[in-house]
Amino acid sequence: MAGYRKLSRTADQRKALLRNQVTALIYRGKIVTTEAKAKEVRRIAEGLIAKAVKEADNYETVTVTAKVARKDKDGKRVKEVVDGKKVTVYDEVQKEIKKDKPSRLHARREMLKVLCPVKEVPAEAAGKKKNTKEIDLVAKLFDEIAPKYASRNGGYTRIIKLGQRKGDGAMEVVLELV
């Protein structure tokens, strides 16, 4: 007996489907799908959340000095003439960053294997590349989802049956984060 459902797809199609559905679940918190797919997505999602909970506080904060371009009131870089050339003026700024410890870094990379990149497009700029922003789902897992489930031992998702789909009679369910 196989350790997973094949979902009537080839391996690459199945992996892509599951990656997309896990990404949607983490990003939105709830998806509607068939029961068989939901059970497979649940396995993967619960593993990711368990990793995030385990490694949530496994980092150290480090203060770093960074060079940042000075900007004027319009947001453009300030330029200065030096030896007949225009040169951008830089300021040194102190920043605090989170530096992952090795086990958290490994967990982050394992999560990135599963999660697809997500771009958020504002409603007024629909269909345009301008103002799109990349959503870091791994950071969302570590910073938002993991603290929520820190006191919980598994069971991070719930499946609610909706009934049979009209076209093919497949059992439809809602898979959501608890």
Mean pLDDT of 1-16: 91
131 pLDDT above the threshold of 90: no
All structural domains of the chain, each given as residue ranges with its CATH number in brackets, are 11-57+102-177 (3.90.1030.10), 59-100 (no CATH)
Q: How confident is the model at residue 8 (pLDDT cuts 50, 70, 90)?
A: very high
Who's near 22: CB < 8 A, 6+ residues apart?
41, 44, 45, 48, 114, 115
- What the block records as the tokens of 55 is 């490694």
Give 111 or 81, the one with higher predicted confidence: 111
**Tens of pLDDT along 18-40?**
999 999 999 999 999 999 999 99
Contact assessment for residue 26 and residue 137, using Cβ atoms and an 8 Å cutoff: yes
Three-state SS across the chain?
CCCCCCCCCCHHHHHHHHHHHHHHHHHHCEEEEEHHHHHHHHHHHHHHHHHHHHHCCCEEEEEEEEEEECECCCCCECEEEECCEEEECEEEEEEEEEEECHHHHHHHHHHHHHCCCEEECCHHHCCCCCCCEEECHHHHHHHHHHHHCCCCCCCCEEEEEEEECCCCCCEEEEEEEC
Angle at 59 between CA 54 and CA 61, to 5 degrees: 155
- Work out the average pLDDT over 104-127: 90
User: Counting every residue, how long is the chain?
Assistant: 178
pLDDT for the residue 75 = 84
Query: How sure is the predictor about 164, in pLDDT bands with cuts at 50, 70 and 90?
Result: very high
Q: What is the mean pLDDT of residues 76-93?
A: 90
- The pLDDT assigned to 132 comes to 84
What mean pLDDT, rounded, does the chain reach?
93
Please determine, for residue 1, whether its predicted confidence score (pLDDT) is greater than 60.
no
Q: Please give the share of the chain, as a percent, with pLDDT higher than 70.
A: 98
Of 88, 71, 72, the C-alpha closest to 80 is: 88
